[in-house]
Amino acid sequence: MNTLYAILDNAATKWVLLVFGLVMPLASLLTWAERRQSAMMQDRLGPNRANIGPIRLKGILHFVADAVKMISKEDFIPGNVHRGLFALAPLLAIGPVLIAFAIIPFGPTIFPHSFTDTLDVGALARSPGAHSFADSIRLQIAQLDFGLLFYFAILTLANYGGTIAGWASYNKWALLGGLRSSSQMMSYEVSMGLSLMGCFLLVGSLEPGFIVASGVSSKMSASNPLNWLWLWQAPALLLFFTAAIAETKRAPFDIPEGEPEIIGYFVEYSGLRWGLFFLAEFIEIVFISAVITTVFFGGFQVPFLDPDGFRFGGYVTEINGTWVSTGGFVAKLPHGVVALLQVGAFGLKVVLVSWLQLMIRWTLPRFRADQLMNLGWKILLPLALGWTMFTALAKLFFIYMGWL
């Protein structure tokens, strides 16, 4: 059993489980959901016919059909392309996104030995080494102190995917798309990083797991929705969401693709190589949803669900340097049920934010290049800087007044 727990707690296992259990299925489903949702928004029915025998499922199986089609299509490589870079670009587009998932906490730490018991948070804080808390499985692949910086750094690499694809394709339109892609990504990365600065100041950590576990204030339980950052950092949420959508290179920020003008940096790609670009885009949607969920919407926290059950009232107290909620009315739940609820809540929140991204993508028309740059440099950036300053001053003031 202990070996099993060790295997489950291994980063590689968790990565495989996360990517093939949550990210890939969700991204594939999004390829269907996008078409079906856009149809619903435009008074159409959308793809609803793919079926295996009598199983139709409202057309969900379209993503299987698409995958089979893309795998079996001819992989055409035009003459004069730089073959090495041409082959590398799709991997550069999809690889960094998958790696960046390492920092996302998609569930609580699971203690297998007390899976069926109610978790005693006080006992955990007092003696973390006890047998019932041994062999813990943390549902986060890498607990890095520089967590979200890792995300910014890794996702910058995805930038190269589009740019190199455009360069290697030996095609003017592809090159234009690649240049547009790199200029846009660079512009928006700045505001994206800065917009989260206020959150880091407020929580005091870059580690997503810590942001989820602590919330804004140690005086409230982390599961209290008022303790999540969406309320205290609403402008940051808006700024980050805008910049993040721009990073996914989707409408209204899709000038790197701009189908009617230049088709985009992947104009020369076909078959599964093109499919990788396509999938990378959808994985980015899932990833950005995961980041927004984690930073702004309490990650895997279910409202009012503390580790030992639903709690109403009660207060937070410090035991051995850990903030623990006690007292109040508690509807006790086994640790296993709590963990399942929390993983489910994370999934649900990610799906909801992804849905919102699709709504925005099908609502707004494409920006012009100058509008894009104006928005990025003249509006988002000053606002992000200003908000960071404001948050810093506000926090100083709160500390001075003794409210924090």
Partner 1 sequence: MASTHDHGSAHDAGGGHGHGHGHGGHDAPPAGLKVLAVSANAKVRTVAVSRPGEADVTYLEATREGLGITLKHFAKNLFGRRRKVADLNTGARPVPTTTGGKILEALSPLNDIETIQYPEEKVVYPERYRGLHRLMQRDDGAVRCVACMCCPTVCPAHCITIIPEQAEDGSIEKRPAVFEIDELRCVVCGLCVEACPCDAIRMDSGTHAKPVEERADAVMTKDKLIAVSKDNGKSPTSIATQGGAGANWRDGR
116 DSSP 8-state letter: S
Q: Which two tokens stand for residue 122?
A: 């006080």
Smallest separation (angstroms) from partner 1 to the CB of 238: 8
Q: Which is nearer to partner 1, 80 or 363 (CB)?
A: 363
Q: Which is nearer to partner 1, 141 or 380 (CB)?
A: 380
| Neighbouring C-beta atoms of residue 103, cutoff 10 Å | 25
The amino acid present at 245, given as its one-letter code, is: I
* 3-class state of residue 316 by DSSP: strand
CA distance 167 to 85: 8
* Residue nearer to partner 1 on the CB measure, 121 or 360: 360
Residue (320 or 363) nearer to partner 1, CB: 363
Q: How far is the CB of 367 from partner 1 (least distance, A)?
A: 8
Rounded Cα–Cα distance for residues 361 and 366 (Å): 9
Which C-beta is closer to partner 1: that of 74 or that of 370? 370
Q: How far is the CB of 306 from partner 1 (least distance, A)?
A: 34
Produce one character per residue of 51-67: b if its CB has 16 or more CB atoms within 10 Å, e if not. eeeeeeeebbbbbebbe
CB of 45 to partner 1, least distance (A): 4
From the CB of 192, what's the least distance to partner 1, in Å?
Answer: 16
Smaller CB separation from partner 1, 47 or 107: 47
- How far apart are CB 3 and partner 1 at their closest, in Å? 47
Residue 379 CB, shortest distance to partner 1, in Å, is 6
Least gap, CB of 388 to partner 1 (angstroms): 18
Q: By C-beta, is 36 or 349 nearer to partner 1?
A: 36
Q: By C-beta, is 10 or 374 nearer to partner 1?
A: 374
How far is 166 from 262, CA to CA, in rounded Å?
11
Q: Please state, in angstroms and as integers, the Cα–Cα distance from residue 61 to each residue in 33, 58, 152, 259, 351, following that order.
A: 11, 8, 34, 26, 18
Instruction: List residues binding partner 1 (CB under 8 A).
Output: 37, 40-45, 238, 359-360, 362-364, 370, 374-375, 379
Contacts of 53 (CB under 8 A, 6+ apart): none
Q: Which residues have CB under 8 Å from 218's CB, separation 6+?
A: 316, 318, 323
Q: Is residue 47 a contact partner of residue 32, using CB atoms and an 8 Å limit?
A: yes
Identify the residue whose tokens are 């949550």: 22
- Overall size of the chain counted in residues: 404
Residue 167: closest CA among 270, 91, 266: 266
Q: How far is the CB of 41 from partner 1 (least distance, A)?
A: 5
43: Cα separation from own chain's centroid? 30
| Residue among 45 and 91 whose Cβ is closer to partner 1 | 45
**DSSP assignment letter at 118:** P
Structure tokens at 201: 């100041």
